[in-house]
Amino acid sequence: MLHVVFFEPRIPGNTGSAIRMSATTGSALHLVEPLGFDLSEAKLRRAGLDYHDLAHVQVHADLAAAKVALGPARVFAFTTQATTRYTDVDYRDGDVLLFGPEPTGLPPEVLSDPWLTDQLRIPMLPGRRSMNLSNAAAIATHEAWRQLGFPGGV
């Protein structure tokens, strides 16, 4: 199983979309508090449609708690500052894909954490600040899932 981590997400619609992605790919979604919304918000429920019960979602009090729950794993932090493309990695079962909050991305103290295996980027046209969080997570998750052979997929 792949693990997608949203560090301190702020926009409920993005997290709702990620819940739906989790349900459709079999990946686990980990939300690191503080969250910028309540999990019962209508925008989150609407974006996730009726997939909430089909998704694997865990909420962690902080990054330290998420690290304990995830155990030893390869952790790839997604940032526009990285030089390695997300397609240049040979993903493995159990890998962690870490994404920062909208609109700031992962803070320097997280990007310098020795817990990280590598920092990855999704290519974009020049002059663009960033990609939508749920879109970036979907792109990366589907590439990793594709490399794993789409286990469980039809």
Contacts 24+ apart (CB under 8 A), 20-23: 20/47, 20/48, 20/49, 20/51, 20/55, 21/134, 21/137, 21/138, 21/141, 22/51, 22/55, 22/56, 22/57, 23/48, 23/51, 23/52, 23/54, 23/55
Range of the domain at 25: 3-147
Please give the model's pTM, rounded to 2 decimal places: 0.93
Burial class (CB in 10 A: 0-12, 13-18, 19+), 1: middle
Q: Is 17 marked within a binding site?
A: no
Q: Is 94 marked within a binding site?
A: no
The answer to whether residue 153 is domain-embedded is no
Query: Which residue type, as a one-letter code, is found at position 56?
Result: H
pLDDT band (50, 70, 90) for residue 44: low
Give pLDDT tens digits for 66-89. 999 999 999 999 999 999 999 999
The answer to whether residue 154 is domain-embedded is no
The stretch 31-49 carries a mean pLDDT of 74
Cα angle 109, 107, 56 (rounded to 5 degrees) comes to 100
Number of domains in the chain: 1
List for the chain the helix, strand, coil content (%; round to 5).
35, 20, 45
Q: Is 130 marked within a binding site?
A: yes
Name which of 1-10, 36-45, 49-58, 143-152 the model is least confident about. Answer: 36-45
The answer to whether residue 152 is domain-embedded is no
CATH code, 69:
3.40.1280.10
